[in-house]
């Protein structure tokens, strides 16, 4: 290891080194000697960088057992206020995607002089382990928690107001919050039932949405919650907080007004055409446009009328929390984040004759063909009537499959491509890393614990998730569930999204006696 060190980055490099990342993280230090230049001159601009999964590399073979423990020791001995240790490929395009061990530290907690020494100590660990084609970079970041009426059925593609109806349906991505803490909104993850002869339906989400004021390792109220008798007070969960409901209703009012304007516009044109020689096709075009606007206005008004029942808060009670283990990190053999809440859904909230089970609406995708291409998988909808844009969820992704590798980090056939539908950012597509990220939770240098996370980045430079997406289920193109979104790294936007694997979640849920036989809720079109 040479004694020479790179010079301190300029202010421009600190701010521009990770240009293109959603959160625009600031660089602290890096071990590479490659010069960074601020573009100058007319028409010059910074090139965007991207994060890509590690893929097949020596690091993947020794990551959890050897590399991370040694790097963790170096950071702790140096009293570094870090929050994540990860490995990704970072660059502008496939030809320059370099392997980077990426360390996140709390903002303004680490100087360059200390950071560069720590970075080279970590680089020496890589060299000692036979890894000579990777660099170490330290950046500033924060860990973020991404926290009456009847749910309507998912819309068919023939429904002209399907996009407006979506938040009020049972398709996954349901916006929820606790009745006691409506300021903390999140997303309903996936449905389960009791198995066997049980008839109850449950929705799984994250604890920090259901109990935002008692979902920290050090909180005195961070205790196991179990609803065991009807004498207990229910901890109710709502669909939509008041702010979101008002936003949707105002949007509907605006759309109704827009259609009224279109109807008047075409009516005026048709009136002026009377008694004049006008091409039949032109007149017919305005008649059709007016009829379409009239039909859409009527559909919007019908939906707006139906949603009057959602205004009283008591009519938006989805159900109540049945079970939620205490929030903890580094739990069990897999050292996962335990951030789970199981909601018992009130029977009155579901139309049981039409309930479709676990489905994700693909309506937000530009086209199904485009989504298929990005997912590199055939989106299986054959079990549903052809007029539905729905991805049917069945089965799970195993822990072993999450570690699938690729010789080419841009080869999407060998990189696991996933999607999620969240309350805040809707339908997004991402790439999962084949090694887990190591995260550390703490406040003001008081360490609360460490955990291993399933890490995902968005495609095309877009974040995979935003604040409000906590609880979203993460799936592959075949509808297999991989995990549930819990947190992210970056501030204020998210560069890397973290999810807890579904295998761990189901094990935790089944550890609670009444849910010992819990299973993913089958739908009417499931394989039996």
Dist. CA 487–CA 173, nearest whole Å: 16
pLDDT in 10s for each residue of the chain, 528 residues: 667 788 999 999 999 999 999 999 999 999 999 999 888 777 778 889 999 999 889 999 999 999 999 999 999 999 999 999 999 999 998 888 899 999 999 999 999 999 999 999 999 999 999 999 999 999 999 988 876 455 666 766 667 777 777 777 777 888 899 999 888 889 999 999 998 777 899 999 999 999 988 767 677 788 999 999 888 999 999 998 888 888 888 888 999 999 999 999 989 888 888 877 767 788 788 888 888 889 888 888 888 887 888 888 888 899 999 999 999 999 999 999 999 999 999 988 887 777 888 988 887 655 445 555 555 544 433 333 444 578 889 899 999 888 865 444 555 445 788 899 998 888 888 889 999 999 988 765 556 789 999 999 998 788 999 988 999 999 988 889 999 999 999 988 999 999 999 999 999 999 999 999 999 987 765 654
DSSP letter for each residue of 222-251: ---EE---TTSPP-EEEES-HHHHHHHHHH
Report the pLDDT value the prediction gives residue 148, as an integer from 0 to 100.
46
Dist. CA 101–CA 137, nearest whole Å: 6
The model's pTM: 0.85
Which residues sit opposite 90 in a β-bridge? 51, 98
Dist. CA 141–CA 139, nearest whole Å: 6
Q: Are 479 and 391 in contact (CB under 8 A)?
A: yes
3-state secondary structure of 258: helix
DSSP letter for each residue of 430-454: EEE-SSPEEEEEEETTEEEEEEEEE
By C-alpha distance, which of 469, 430, 438, 437 is closest to 455? 437
By C-alpha distance, which of 360, 424, 359 is closest to 185? 424
Q: What burial class does residue 132 get, using C-beta atoms within 10 Å of its C-beta: 0-12 exposed, 13-18 middle, 19+ buried?
A: exposed
Residue 489: CA count within 13 A, CB half-sphere: 29
Record the tokens describing residue 375, joined without a space.
């997912």
Report the pLDDT value the prediction gives residue 1, as an integer from 0 to 100.
61
Report the pLDDT value the prediction gives residue 365, as an integer from 0 to 100.
58
Report the pLDDT value the prediction gives residue 225, as an integer from 0 to 100.
94
3-state secondary structure of 387: coil
By C-alpha distance, which of 441, 428, 429 is closest to 208? 441
Secondary-structure breakdown of the chain: helix, strand, coil percentages, each rounded to the nearest 5: 30, 30, 45
By C-alpha distance, which of 102, 95, 86 is closest to 31? 102
Q: Which residues contact 475 (CB under 8 A, 6 or more apart)?
A: 360, 391, 393, 418, 419, 420, 481, 482
Overall size of the chain counted in residues: 528
Q: Which residues contact 434 (CB under 8 A, 6 or more apart)?
A: 53, 54, 55, 60, 402, 403, 404, 405, 406, 415, 416
Dist. CA 329–CA 367, nearest whole Å: 39
Dist. CA 498–CA 86, nearest whole Å: 11
Q: Are 249 and 241 in contact (CB under 8 A)?
A: no
Cα separation values, 404 from 372, 414, 417, 431, Å: 20, 7, 11, 12
Dist. CA 114–CA 138, nearest whole Å: 11
Report the pLDDT value the prediction gives residue 444, as an integer from 0 to 100.
53
Which residues sit opposite 320 in a β-bridge? 236, 344
3-state secondary structure of 178: strand
Dist. CA 435–CA 61, nearest whole Å: 9
Instruction: Measure CA 363 to chain center.
Output: 17
Q: Are 520 and 191 in contact (CB under 8 A)?
A: yes
> For the CA atoms of 507, 508, 514, 520, what is the dihedral angle to 10 degrees?
-60
Report the pLDDT value the prediction gives residue 424, as an integer from 0 to 100.
86
Dist. CA 356–CA 388, nearest whole Å: 11
Dist. CA 493–CA 463, nearest whole Å: 7
- Report strand pairing: 134-140 vs 98-105: parallel
Dist. CA 439–CA 330, nearest whole Å: 9
Query: Which helix H or strand E contains 183, and what residues bound it?
Result: strand 181-187
Record the tokens describing residue 242, joined without a space.
């008041």
Report the pLDDT value the prediction gives residue 514, as an integer from 0 to 100.
93
Dist. CA 493–CA 495, nearest whole Å: 7
3-state secondary structure of 123: helix
Cα separation values, 238 from 62, 168, 184, 185, 210, Å: 45, 12, 11, 10, 10
Q: Which residues contact 29 (CB under 8 A, 6 or more apart)?
A: 6, 9, 110, 112, 115, 116, 118, 119, 137, 138
Report the pLDDT value the prediction gives residue 385, as an integer from 0 to 100.
41
Dist. CA 448–CA 321, nearest whole Å: 26
Give the helix ranges, DSSP H, for 29-111: 58-62, 68-77
């Amino acid at each position: 290891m040479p004694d020479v060190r790179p010079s301190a980055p300029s202010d421009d490099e600190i701010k521009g080194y990770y240009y293109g990342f959603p959160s625009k993280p600031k660089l602290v230090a890096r071990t590479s000697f490659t010069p960074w230049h601020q573009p100058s001159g007319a028409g010059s601009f910074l090139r965007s960088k991207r994060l890509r999964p590690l893929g097949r590399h020596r690091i993947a073979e020794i990551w959890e057992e050897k590399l991370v423990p040694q790097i963790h020791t170096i950071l702790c001995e140096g009293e570094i206020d870090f929050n994540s240790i990860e490995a990704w490929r970072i660059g502008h395009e496939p030809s320059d995607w370099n392997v980077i061990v990426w360390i996140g530290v709390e903002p303004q907690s680490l100087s360059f002089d200390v950071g560069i020494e720590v970075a080279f100590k970590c680089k020496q660990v890589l060299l000692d382990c036979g890894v000579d084609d990777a660099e170490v970079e330290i950046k500033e970041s924060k860990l973020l928690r991404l926290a009456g009426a009847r749910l309507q059925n998912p819309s068919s593609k023939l429904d002209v107001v399907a996009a407006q109806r979506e938040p009020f349906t049972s398709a996954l991505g349901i916006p929820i919050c606790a009745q006691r803490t409506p300021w903390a909104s999140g997303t309903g993850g996936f449905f389960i039932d009791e198995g066997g002869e049980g008839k109850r339906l449950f929705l799984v989400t994250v604890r920090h949405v259901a109990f935002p004021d008692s979902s920290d390792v050090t909180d005195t109220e961070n205790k196991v919650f179990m609803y065991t008798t009807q004498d207990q007070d229910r901890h109710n969960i709502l669909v939509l907080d008041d702010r979101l409901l008002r936003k949707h209703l105002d949007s509907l009012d605006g759309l109704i007004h827009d259609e009224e304007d279109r109807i008047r516009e075409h009516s005026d044109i048709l009136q002026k055409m009377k008694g004049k020689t006008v091409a039949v096709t032109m007149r017919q075009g305005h008649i059709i446009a007016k009829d379409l606007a009239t039909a859409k206005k009527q559909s919007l008004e019908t939906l707006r009328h139906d949603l009057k029942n959602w205004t009283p808060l008591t009519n938006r009670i989805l159900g109540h929390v049945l079970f939620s283990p205490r929030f903890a990190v580094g739990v069990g053999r897999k050292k996962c984040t335990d951030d789970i809440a199981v909601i018992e859904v009130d029977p009155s909230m579901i139309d049981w004759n039409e309930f479709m089970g676990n489905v994700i609406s693909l309506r937000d995708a530009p086209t199904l063909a485009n989504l298929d291409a990005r997912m590199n998988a055939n989106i299986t909808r054959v079990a549903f009537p052809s007029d539905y844009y729905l991805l049917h969820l069945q089965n799970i992704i195993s822990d072993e499959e999450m570690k699938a590798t690729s010789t080419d980090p841009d080869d999407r056939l060998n990189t696991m491509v996933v999607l999620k539908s969240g309350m805040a950012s809707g339908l997004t597509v991402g790439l999962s890393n084949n090694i887990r990220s190591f995260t550390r939770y703490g406040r003001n240098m008081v360490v609360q614990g460490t955990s291993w996370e399933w890490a995902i980045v968005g495609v095309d430079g877009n974040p995979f998730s935003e604040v409000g997406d906590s609880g979203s289920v993460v799936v592959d193109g075949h509808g297999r569930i991989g995990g549930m979104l819990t947190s992210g790294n970056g501030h204020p936007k998210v560069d890397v999204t973290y999810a807890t694997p579904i295998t761990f979640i189901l094990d935790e849920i089944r550890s609670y006696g009444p849910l010992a036989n819990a299973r993913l809720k089958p739908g009417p079109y499931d394989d039996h």
